[in-house]
């Protein structure tokens, strides 16, 4: 199984999200019968505001799933501004946890990340755990995404050999998919796919362009596992 995850961060307003969705929908609709049979999951991560809209737009496409970019480490309660897993589960199947930008700007601790993972598990939300290097703890999750800090949004993607070496060091559990994130785009994913060790990609900048994202999708469909 391949995974192609779009992390839109805080980049798009509603009009841009709407245009993106309709463009991508047009791209896949022309051959939807064949695409349904493929071993790939496309996971779209809009901001909280647009989870419902994106969910409804792609509700009839069986290989497209929705992800929250984050969840609260707390449950429901008097926590102003927090969005718990129990709430996002109505709009998405996945949640991104521990992204490097959350660790940096929100100063997330390992303890907070563990609590977020626990809340997701409690409420049936699958998790995409982001790790930067081996110093970040690899907890139980459905997917682990390796994202070297120097490659995030810089255009300087990591060498495929390094990504494979990190997989050996991180040692994902059996059944825990291993993704690469860090300036991955339609021009450079072939090298990672060729290793046979990468199960997909967590995509930031390139995911903002629906045509580039669809090009990545097509390349992954055409790659033999």
Cα distances (Å, whole numbers) of residue 199 to 18, 74, 145, 193: 28, 30, 10, 8
Distance between CA atoms of residues 54 and 69, nearest Å:
13
Is 157:163 a contact under the CB 8 Å cutoff?
no
Quote the tokens at residue 9. Answer: 């961060």
Residue of 108, 112, 119, 147 marked catalytic: 147
The dihedrals phi and psi of 100, each to the nearest 5 degrees, come to -60, -30
**105 belongs to the catalytic site:** no
- The DSSP annotation for 88-125 comes to HTTT-SEEEES-HHHHHHS---HHHHHHHHHHHHHTT-
**99 belongs to the catalytic site:** yes
Residue holding tokens 């779009």? 6
Is 97:138 a contact under the CB 8 Å cutoff?
no
Residue of 11, 99, 110, 165 marked catalytic: 99
The residues carrying an active-site annotation are 99, 147
């Amino acid at each position: 199984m391949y995974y192609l995850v779009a992390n839109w961060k805080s980049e798009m307003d509603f009009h841009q999200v709407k245009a993106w969705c309709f463009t991508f929908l047009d791209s896949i609709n022309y051959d939807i019968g064949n695409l349904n049979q493929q071993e790939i999951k496309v996971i779209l991560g809009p901001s909280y505001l647009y989870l419902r809209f994106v969910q409804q737009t792609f509700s009839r496409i069986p290989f497209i799933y929705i992800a929250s970019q984050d969840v609260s480490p707390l449950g429901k309660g008097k926590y102003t501004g927090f969005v718990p897993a129990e709430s996002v589960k109505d709009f998405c199947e996945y949640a991104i946890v521990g992204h490097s930008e959350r660790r940096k700007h929100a100063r997330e601790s390992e303890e907070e990340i563990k609590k977020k993972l626990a809340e997701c598990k409690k409420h049936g939300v699958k998790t995409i755990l982001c790790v930067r290097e081996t110093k970040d703890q690899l907890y139980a999750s459905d997917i682990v995404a390796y994202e070297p800090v120097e490659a995030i949004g810089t255009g300087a993607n990591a060498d495929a050999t390094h990504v494979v070496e990190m997989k050996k060091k991180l040692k994902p559990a059996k059944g825990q998919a291993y993704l690469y994130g860090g300036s991955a785009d339609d021009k450079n994913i072939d090298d990672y796919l060729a290793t046979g060790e990468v199960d997909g990609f967590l995509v930031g900048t390139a995911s903002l362009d629906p045509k580039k994202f669809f090009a990545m999708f097509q390349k992954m469909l055409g790659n033999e596992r």
